Amino acid sequence: MGSQKAEGTGDKVRILFVCLGNICRSPAAEGILRQRLIDSALDLEVLVDSAGTGGWHVGELPDDRMRQAAKRRGYTLCHRARQVQPHDFETFDAIYGMDQSNVKNLHRLAQGVNRNLLKIESFGLLLGDRSFEIPDPYHGGPEGFERVLDLLEEGVNALVARLQHNSFHHNHE
């Protein structure tokens, strides 16, 4: 791959998706990307994970409503929630926050990290709009989970296209 590699990560591109509690949006993005990587024969070249900026759900499976909506589309979400850790900022080649609040929290959590190492972006950048937000479906109905999956599929497809064309890169801010 033509990307920058985090120290000690070998040849794999490492991608982290982040939302608030790591039970809806980010584990769904992780599950979708895992499947797309397998479908594209990139699964051995990319490592994907997800985390939350908060620790309320650490150790839990994704929200059952998200798991069921994802399952209907052929995705298995079996990730156990975890909170972002300081080493994540050095380990991952790209960190995608699901909304501006997540991005702001990631920058706050990264205090003390060399600013040149930070690779934090809004997931909306994959959809062509840095300010675009993936809405949190947690307090809504089933249609919210379906809408989030639609948006995540679109963004993940753009990310996979980038990976396939060896043009994966990160713009440091």
- Helix then strand count (H, E) for the chain reads 5, 4
Measured CA to CA, the distance from residue 128 to residue 10 in angstroms comes to: 29
**Segments of the chain assigned E as strands:** 13-19, 46-52, 94-97, 120-122
Q: Is 19 a catalytic residue?
A: yes
136 has catalytic annotation: yes
- DSSP 8-state code for residue 117: G
108 is catalytic: no
Instruction: Indicate which residue of 14, 24, 25, 49 is catalytic.
Output: 25
Q: Which of the following is catalytic: 88, 93, 99, 136?
A: 136
Distances (CA, A) of 147 to 51, 69, 77: 21, 10, 17
The DSSP 8-state label assigned to residue 158 in this structure reads H
C-alpha 42/C-alpha 35 separation (Å) is: 10
Q: Give the residue numbers marked as catalytic.
A: 19, 25, 136
